Amino acid sequence: MRLPRGYISYNQIRIYKSCPLKYYYKYIEEKEGSINKRVYTGLIFHSVLEFCFKNIIKGINLSFSDLRDLYLNLFKDKKQEYKIVDLRGNSEKEKNRGLNMLKYFYNNILLSINPLMVEKELLAKLPSGIILKGIVDLLDKDYSIIDFKTSVNKWSKSKINYSLIQMEIYKYLVLKNFNVSSPTIKYFIFIAKNMDCNRCQSLSIDDTSDLYVLEDNIYRVAQEISKGNFPQIPGKQCNYCFFSDICTKKMSVH
């Protein structure tokens, strides 16, 4: 089975299932799409957390001022690497929104985590021969799989369930790469609608999903990609698509 990157990942599956044409633009034509300001803030936030935990693993503890300075520098410098559609005029507010989430992380969450591996790339071969690849945000020393999210609202049960496939894939990769039983899935969702961040939604899930079902679902998506099946799935999501400005089949949805 031929795949554009030679493997399949959660992001590929997510994008294909949301709209195969979007997948085509990103992975076949390799076009660069735009991102919104909150996605940009999340990217910078994750970069700082990655730096923080990698230093902890090395035995280096950073102060909040260290993390703050890194965040501010990255927020300024990384703008050149992304096409951000709605940052102009709101840059200062959005920057402070992310900074307050970082402050909440440092004061309330950091000491509860014992990192073993950060942004670890894992590979596994499925029974179908397909290579599954994923980069896990963080593995705790007890092999809990930890994912950090930024949001403007508390996650609903439906959003948690929708997001679980990502963690199920990470769990599959951990089980295939390490001699562990059934790792716990943990979410830390930092919530800041405007500039304030005074809460974090912490979730711990003992996932009992059927790995055979997961393998079959991955195979089905990979099969459609291999066939070159890339229809557009029109809907409200078209108005927020990263490729809305280049999609020749874009439909205006109201």
**b (16+ CB within 10 A) / e for 26-43:** bbeeeeebbbebbebbbb
Pairing mode, strands 115-125 and 185-191: unpaired
Give φ, ψ of 218 to 5 degrees.
Answer: -65, -40
Residue 161: CB atoms within 10 A of its CB come to 10
Q: Quote the CA–CA distance of 7 and 125 in Å, as a whole number.
A: 9
Q: Per CATH, is 8-240 categorized as 3.90.320.10?
A: yes
Q: Quote the CA–CA distance of 173 and 162 in Å, as a whole number.
A: 19
Q: For residue 119, name the pLDDT band (cuts at 50, 70, 90).
A: very high
Asked if the model's pLDDT at residue 251 lies above 50, the reply is: no
Note if the pTM is more than 0.75. yes
Q: For residue 88, name the pLDDT band (cuts at 50, 70, 90).
A: low
* Average confidence score pLDDT of the chain: 89
Helices 37-57 & 64-77 angle (0-180, nearest 10): 140
Q: For residue 85, name the pLDDT band (cuts at 50, 70, 90).
A: low
Asked if the model's pLDDT at residue 237 lies above 80, the reply is: no
pLDDT digits (tens, 9 = 90+) for 155-190: 998 888 888 889 999 999 999 999 888 889 999 999
Per-residue pLDDT, 43: 95
Asked if the model's pLDDT at residue 64 lies above 50, the reply is: yes
Asked if the model's pLDDT at residue 194 lies above 80, the reply is: no
CB hemisphere CA count around 9 (13 angstroms):
14
Determine contact, residues 126/132, Cβ cutoff 8 Å: yes
Largest CA distance in the chain: 53
